[in-house]
A = this chain, B = another copy of it.
Amino acid sequence: MPSTIEDFSQYLNKRQLKLTQGRKAVLQEIFLQPGHLEAEDLWRSLRRKKRRVSRATVYRTLDLLVDSGMVRKVDLGHGHSHYEKALLQAHHEHMVCLECGKVIEFSDKEMEGDLDKLCKKSGFEHTAHRFEIFGYCGECSKS
């Protein structure tokens, strides 16, 4: 939370936007969570504890956070978006178990290297990517 709010504040200042209570709350909450969460969860969490913000504000703030690069919007194939902090945490991808819904996070250096080479080869300037693997986790593939 320390430099995180600082970063967000700077981002907001640059575009003459204001650092409000609602925005602070959303930011704190998402950085409090260990993994990815959906907008609705975030809204419910906030409502349960400290601040009572509207869903609209949650979505609007999430957009800002994604745009600022501090939060990553991920699609785990549930028909709606999930969000996770992008800073202070190694870049990683997801393996989603289609049976139990478990999400395994992973990262792979070789793969990242391949990705970079690939983009260079195609003259493509890589700014982000989405990579999810679907299948069955160790538990579920046994059955």
A binding-site residues for B, Cβ under 8 Å: 75, 77, 95, 97-98, 104, 106, 108, 110-111, 114-115, 118-119, 122-138, 141
Contacts and interface: CB of A to CB of B under 8 A. Distances in A.
Nearest to A75: B75
A122 B95 contact: yes
Contact of A114 (B104, B111, B128, B134): B111
Contact of A106 (B118, B131, B135): B118
B132 A130 contact: yes
25 contacts: A75-B75, A77-B130, A95-B122, A95-B124, A98-B127, A106-B122, A108-B114, A110-B110, A111-B111, A111-B118, A115-B133, A119-B135, A123-B137, A123-B138, A124-B133, A124-B138, A124-B141, A125-B141, A126-B135, A128-B133, A128-B134, A129-B132, A129-B134, A130-B130, A130-B132
